[in-house]
Amino acid sequence: MENIICHVADNANLRNTKHESLESRLFDTLAASPDPSAAARTSEPIQTILGLCRSKYGRDARPCFANALFAHDAAGEWQLCERMDPLLLRALRPAPQTFPGTTQSSLPSSIPRSAVSNAADLGEFFSPQTSKVVYNGLAYVGKHPRDWNRLDADFAEVQNALNLPRPHPNLLPAPQHLVTASPTDGRVCGFLLAYYPNGDLYQWSRKLSSQGRLSESILHEWAVAIASAMQFLLECGEWHGDLKPDNIFVGEEGDLVLADRTRSFATIAFASPELLDDQIVMLNEVGRVQYQARGAKRARQYLGLPAEWPLEAKEKSEVYAYGVLLLVLIRKMSLRDVYRKARDAGSRYLDWSVTREEAACFPTLAVIIEPCVRSKPSDRPTFIAILRKLRSCNRKS
């Protein structure tokens, strides 16, 4: 049930925990609990609500597209209600206002969310605002804003794709359809992206590894494809901001496409030292981690590359993430372990040095990775230099 958004209404059992609002996210309650006794009092209703979720949806179903679950205590008995978050519904806007600067002709076609159904096979784990859906008999990845205060950030993926002057084979294309709230309500509540049955690069690399097919030549091809896409973005004055294996999809022929280019979020495990050094990590009044760039007036709930950084500085930060990504792949590391280690390290960045054994097993990639993960941005190469080196190594082999 971890891929379903559930909100919980305030009640006596939960009042001893710190909440962001009366309708707080179910899974925040334990994490935000100020003391063990409060956590124990909170856990009983949470387990009850989880039981209701499992009973209603099991493993093979989920709420309708863009809906969330709401749990409320009715006369001492917990009940579930499925609907779109009213706060999110209130914040929605028509397509021209959602994607300013775009013409109607450049926007994807719009369809009502009632025309979108959940796929019979849910496939691999998706984030709460992402699911495998079906429209007109074809499979898509359906995405909608996680909540009202992330509306602009989650729709930025569409805006950024529409802003590119032309497509690139290693970048996820713009959505094929926008999804509206209803047949009579033209406000945009989500969008449909191409579905890639091979999943993301992390899943695909583990599958190839289990079959003994993950060779350095394949890793080399991936390195070229990713670097090529990143260089294209830079030439367009753009960047990705959250480069990691689970943000790269794999096509039917094994081709890679970079996805989730909101430019709003970064993952701490792949964040460069200068990005972490630039951020003051703090807890807000409800116990959530927040990030505030030094000198900035406001904190952000999510880590991200500062928009005010020069493009050259953004590139060096992206090069670091690129090096870490390749190192994770050659080490066949579990992403769960990577994220856990990064979370435990906090604002201290991890040591991603290439070992002698790795240099011996992956000599070509080791030469690429080592300078990418250097702590000083000025010591890292550009993507142009990386591509030259990769192509040079390819010619020699």
Strand partners for 141: 132, 193
Mean pLDDT across the stretch 155-171? Answer: 94
Question: In sequence order, which residues have a C-beta less than 8 Å from that of residue 168 and are 6 or more positions away?
Answer: 228, 229, 232
Question: In sequence order, which residues have a C-beta less than 8 Å from that of residue 238 and are 6 or more positions away?
Answer: 160, 163, 164, 261, 263
Mean pLDDT computed over every residue of the chain:
83
Among 47-51, 103-107, 117-121, 347-351, which range has the highest average pLDDT?
103-107
User: Residue 24: what pLDDT?
Assistant: 39
Strands, E assignment, 122-274: 130-135, 138-143, 177-180, 188-194, 248-250, 256-258
User: Residue 305: what pLDDT?
Assistant: 86
Q: Which two three-digit tokens encode residue 138?
A: 């074809």
Mean pLDDT across the stretch 246-258? Answer: 94
User: Residue 225: what pLDDT?
Assistant: 98
Helix axis angle, 383-396 to 216-235, nearest 10°: 150
Instruction: Give the end-to-end CA distance of the chain in Å, rounded to a whole number.
Output: 48
pLDDT at residue 6 tops 70: no
- The helix/strand/coil state of 297 is coil
CA distances from 71 to 12, 23, 26, 85, 247 (A): 14, 9, 9, 12, 31
Q: How confident is the model at residue 21 (pLDDT cuts 50, 70, 90)?
A: very low
Burial degree of 215 (CB within 10 A; 0-12, 13-18, 19+): exposed
Q: Which two three-digit tokens encode residue 182?
A: 């209803």
Is 275 or 288 the better-scoring residue by pLDDT?
275
Report the C-alpha gap between 205 and 343 in whole angstroms.
Answer: 24
For 327-356, the pLDDT digits (tens) are: 999 999 999 888 888 877 765 667 899 999
Mean pLDDT across the stretch 297-305? Answer: 64
User: Residue 32: what pLDDT?
Assistant: 43
pLDDT at residue 189 tops 50: yes
Is 9 or 339 the better-scoring residue by pLDDT?
339
Selection from 265, 264, 373, 391 nearest residue 325 by Cα: 373
User: Residue 288: what pLDDT?
Assistant: 44
Secondary structure tally for the chain: helices H, strands E: 13, 14
Mean pLDDT across the stretch 246-255? Answer: 94
What strands lie across the sheet with 188-194, from one edge to the other? 109-112, 177-180, 188-194, 138-143, 130-135, 117-118
Among 77-86, 245-254, 387-396, which range has the highest average pLDDT?
245-254
Lowest-confidence pick of 7-16, 175-184, 223-232, 319-328: 7-16
Q: Which two three-digit tokens encode residue 71?
A: 């749990």
User: Residue 128: what pLDDT?
Assistant: 67
